[in-house]
Structure 1
């Protein structure tokens, strides 16, 4: 019975850690084709719906800090390029809230 209780506790901790982890693909609802792919190795790639994004990230608790973000510079009429302004983010469950350098909430991504 003790082994069973330990297994349940370990599984619970593993699931709790997954709920606030960053690696994976995070998608915006607007524009629909905007996304970030956050890799375990500290790199990221994605698109704002027009231009490709690439760079790095670090996580401390539930806060992500993005390193220098590079991107292509194609002209796309009507595309909201809010992802190019990302500076930090918080992760809770399946939502990543993105903040600009001034600390303003500029959008959300969903797992």
Structure 2
């Protein structure tokens, strides 16, 4: 009888444990708003279909994004080139990004950190 119960329970236990286990960030979807759309604030919005739009606080940003091996890659990113006093255009130099929880670390072509955006509303 004990063997019969073990044969029935073990597969159920294995399935239950497997459904709870996941790799870090596996449930994190980078699509959505990063930053704050308030005037003068940097932000990016990543859509499910791979498009990105944003603003560095002054200049509009547009392009595409993809994700591979936990890294976000910005492709064909373009930006307007208006001069705005007191605005740091760091976001327009984005090439890749890494997401950890509600923070997006933005990196440039030299893999140097250029800034961080928080997940928006």
TM over 0.5, shorter chain: yes
Q: Which has the larger radius of gyration?
A: 2
CA displacement 1:32-84 (0-9 Å, x = unmatched): 62100001111100100001100001101320111021112222111100001
Which sections of structure 1, spanning at least 5 residues, go unmatched? none
Runs of at least 4 residues off by over 6 Å: none
Q: Which residue of 2 aligns with 1:40?
A: 48
Residues matched between the structures, number = 106
Of structures 1 and 2, the one scoring higher in RCO (CA 8 A, sep 6+) is 1
Which sections of structure 2, spanning at least 5 residues, go unmatched? 1-11
Once the two structures are TM-superposed, the CA of residue 93 in structure 1 deviates from its matched residue by 1.1
Say whether the 8 Å CA contact 2:40–2:58 is kept in structure 1: no
Structure 1 residue 77 corresponds to structure 2 residue 75 = no
- Tell me the TM-score normalised to structure 1 length: 0.80
How big is the alpha-carbon RMSD for the aligned residues of Structure 1 and Structure 2?
Answer: 2.6
- Tell me the TM-score normalised to structure 2 length: 0.74
